[in-house]
Amino acid sequence: MMKKLTTTLFIIGISIAAFAQETVSMQVNAKADKDKISRFIYGHFAEHLGRCIYDGFYLEDSTMNVPKQGRIRMDIVSALKTINIPLLRWPGGCFADRYHWSDGIGPKDKRPLRINSTWGMVPEDNSFGTDEFLQLCNLLNCEPYIAGNVGTGTPQQMSDWIEYLNFGGKSALADMRRANGHADPYKVAFWGVGNESWGCGGDMTPEYYADLYKRYAAFCLNYPGAPLKKIMSGANADDYNWTEVSMKNVRPNQMWGYSMHYYTIVNNWQHKGSATNFNEEEYFKGLKSCLHIEDLINKHSAIMDKYDPQKKVSLCVDEWGIWTDPEPGTNGAFLYQQNSLRDALIAASSLNIFNKHCDRIRMANLAQTVNVLQALVLTQKEKMVLTPTYYIFDLYKYHQDATLLPVSFFSPDYKYGEESIPAVNASASKDSNGVIHITLVNIDPKNKITINTSFNGAAFKTAEGQVLTSANFTDINTFDNPNKVKPAAFSDFKKNGNELSINLPPMSATLITLK
Using CA atoms, how far apart are residues 126 and 110, in angstroms rounded to an integer? Answer: 10
**308-332 confidence digits (pLDDT tens):** 999 999 999 999 999 999 999 999 9
Length of the chain: 515
Instruction: Give the active site residue among 319, 418, 464, 499.
Output: 319
| DSSP for 388-421, written as a single string | HHHHHHHHHGGGTTPEEE-EE--PPEEEETTEEE
Distance CA 471, CA 473 (A): 7
- CB contact at 8 A, 484 and 477: yes
- Coil, helix or strand for 120? coil
- Superfamily of domain covering 39-401: Glycosidases (3.20.20.80)
Domain spans of the chain? Answer: 22-33+405-514, 39-401
Predicted pLDDT of residue 11: 36
Q: Which of 22, 163, 196, 294 is catalytic?
A: 196
Catalytic residue check, 60? no
What is the reported pLDDT for 462?
93
Confidence at residue 63, expressed as pLDDT on a 0 to 100 scale? 86
The pLDDT tens digits for 290-302 are 999 999 999 999 9
SS3 call for 40: helix
How high is the pLDDT of residue 20?
Answer: 53
Return the beta strands (E) in 39-107 as ranges. 43-45, 68-69, 72-73, 87-90
Which residue stretches of the chain have pLDDT < 70?
Answer: 1-20
pLDDT of residue 261: 98
pLDDT, residue 17, reads: 40
Annotated catalytic, 319? Answer: yes
User: How is 160-217 classified by DSSP, letter by letter?
Assistant: HHHHHHH--SS-HHHHHHHHTT--S-----EEEE-S-TTTTTT---HHHHHHHHHHHH
Q: What is the DSSP letter of 310?
A: T
Q: Which CATH superfamily is domain 22-33+405-514 in?
A: Golgi alpha-mannosidase II (2.60.40.1180)
Percent of the chain with pLDDT over 90: 93
